[in-house]
Structure 1
Amino acid sequence: MDSSSNTSARDVALITGASSGIGAATARRFAASGANVVLAARDEAALMSVADDCRAAGVDAAAVPTDVTDADAVTALVDATVERFGRLDAAVVNAGIGERRDVPIDELPIEQFERVTATNVHGAYYTTRAVLSELRSTDGSLVFVGSYKGKHPSTSTPVYAASKWWLRGFALSVAGRVGPDGVGVTLVNPSGVTTEFGSEFRDRSNWDALDDDATLDPSDVAAAVTYAARRDPPTTVTELDLNRRDIYERF
């Protein structure tokens, strides 16, 4: 991705789950590097605030309220992106939620299983399906935000972990399918990150539940995502595990 061109030819990055946390940090990082950005999430007011931050970096930013569990809404999001900017160079599949921690499987409300699966699995599929045609035309990049729990079991959040195991298999399989078409596909697997993640069903979000001194910051993940998205063809980063340097001391 070339950030040195004029405004009309700027690269365009679309980020789901962009209203807070990793998604918002990623949008700001793309904007700081000179890319126009399209921000998608359900919270319009929060999206507008992030969009204002991006515009302050001198780029154009579109806030498009979108529920990624709605396939038609995701298609409309990509259509709106192309209508406004004429292209799409990078898509970041970031939207995700998790169930309440440490709830026995036979006591976890079905609603939580269905909501996590709809967002983390169906939403990832709908987004991927909608962006691939545009990314093929620009030799663009598709970056999935996975999780450490997508490679290791999680007794506290088995549904969330399962969704990220699915995402890993999907992302690597998509890489095999579209890599020959010129699309770079990357899976970024961060360990714990202090964000608002978990606020939908949990009493405490990761801001309150995780220790700042033992976790990553959203900006760390954003740096990894934008690094992967900006690899020049034909190279790509297939998978990137992002951890603190002391991660293995915990085992």
Structure 2
Amino acid sequence: MTGDGETADEDTTDDPVALITGASRGIGAATATRLASDGYDLVLASRTESDLRAVADRITAERGVEVRVVPTDVTDPAAVQSLVDATVERFGRLDAVVANAGTGEQRNQPIDDLPLAEYHAVRATNVDGAFYTARAALEPLRESGGTLVFLGSFKAKYPSTSTPVYAASKWWLRGFAHSLAGRAGPDGVAVSLINPSGVPTEFARERRETTNVERLDPDEAISADDVADAIATAIGQDAPGAITELDLFRRDIHERF
């Protein structure tokens, strides 16, 4: 683990351990806070170490759990495998994985004008990154009888004319999550998919002129804390039960259709 001043041969923990990707802000950071309040030791991953450390320092000060920071690009399968291996090496267990890392394209961009780099970035993070995370995490989750949670979207169930590439990536994720549940469930792993409607975060800020923080009314939208509570609810299910899919929509969501 990076920069925490502790070695891998320390005593392992009896506390449950959760690994969260995309943990430096938004839903990932809120989920880290929520799981820390449930007594989980944490491993936080994203590409930006400074942002991760800010989240980790705050949680450590407030909650007193152990929080490790591992800068990771989820589009790199070797990096994701190293992330999981380092988690198990340090803690001796892995009880929950939240595959939250994601990105999106510019809104309302005609497909024939959409830069191919944006298409590849969305696919690499939302599709490949989720696959690499699941692939690396399944073995330790089998050993713990743990839970793998994917962060989906209401756009995984309805067409999106404004962000078709993002929506397609979440449709893929939904199919993968349910199919994987059929494979992993008999081995004792719960696979859950959480589909929130729009959340006022800085999601995809690197590509969008207006983020959800600026675009959505926080009094009328699902919050990052709401999503974190839903993720914690899925993780908290005891065997043999599992939440395979949970839709968390604002109450007027269907009005737009």
Give the TM-score, by structure 1 length: 0.96
- What's the CA shift for 1:58? 1.1
Per the alignment, residue 157 of structure 2 pairs with: 151
Per the alignment, residue 201 of structure 1 pairs with: 207
Number of aligned residue pairs: 245
Could you say what secondary structure the match of 1:212 adopts? coil
Could you say what secondary structure the match of 2:247 adopts? strand
Letter in 2 for 1:38: V
Two-structure CA RMSD over aligned residues (Å): 1.0
**Identity level (%):** 62
Separation (CA, whole Å) in 1 of partners of 2:186 and 2:149: 16
Letter in 2 for 1:20: R
Are 1:244 and 2:250 matched, yes or no?
yes
- Decide which of 100, 108, 121 is 1:102's aligned counterpart: 108
- Decide which of 60, 63, 74 is 2:66's aligned counterpart: 60
In structure 1, the gaps of 5 or more residues are 1-6
In structure 2, the gaps of 5 or more residues are 1-11
Per the alignment, residue 45 of structure 1 pairs with: 50
Could you say what secondary structure the match of 1:38 adopts? strand
Contact 1:194 1:210 in 2 (8 A): yes
Could you say what secondary structure the match of 2:250 adopts? coil
Could you say what secondary structure the match of 1:15 adopts? strand
Are 1:34 and 2:39 matched, yes or no?
yes
Per the alignment, residue 179 of structure 1 pairs with: 185
CA deviation map 1:126-167 (0-9, x unaligned): 000000000000000000000000100000000000000000
Separation (CA, whole Å) in 2 of partners of 1:73 and 1:234: 32
- What's the CA shift for 1:178? 0.4
Contact 1:185 1:236 in 2 (8 A): yes
Separation (CA, whole Å) in 2 of partners of 1:232 and 1:218: 24
- What's the CA shift for 1:206? 1.0
